[in-house]
Amino acid sequence: MMEMAVGALGGARVSRGTLDVWPQAMITPQIARWGQTPLDVYRLSVEHPAPRTRERYMALSKILDGQPVWRLAPAIGRSTKAVYTWLKRYNESGPEGLEYRHTGGRQPSFRVARG
């Protein structure tokens, strides 16, 4: 098994012939930018009406507590990519970036005639 240290390939690691890309630096939630405190984030993780949005706020809260994304993601049953996406959306759009949006799913392949 061939492994290289982080940074040897500009933030990448080679493992078992595959290339895993890691973030260059640890990304942290920019809560001050959006006028929130860690307590605000925790409250939203418990009190928000939408379960998926609560899950995202809970992940943000745990990251603020110092838990690394690579350890948090498997514990909540999500990929590290998903958690980093939530973090990126929050940092770019604020609390609205974590809101769950129903996309409607796949379009049906046929339509049922009603009449």
- Whether the pTM exceeds 0.75: the reply is no
Among the residues of the chain, which ranges form H helices?
38-47, 51-64, 69-76, 80-93
Which domain, by its residues, includes 77? 26-98
Residue-wise pLDDT for 82-112, tens only, equals 999 999 999 999 999 988 877 777 777 777 7
Number of domains the chain is built from: 1
| Inside any domain, residue 94 | yes
First to last CA, the chain: 64
> Which residue do the tokens 């973090």 mark?
87
Residue-wise pLDDT for 9-59, tens only, equals 444 444 444 445 454 456 889 999 999 999 999 999 999 999 999 999 999
Tokens representing 38? 């860690």
| Inside any domain, residue 33 | yes
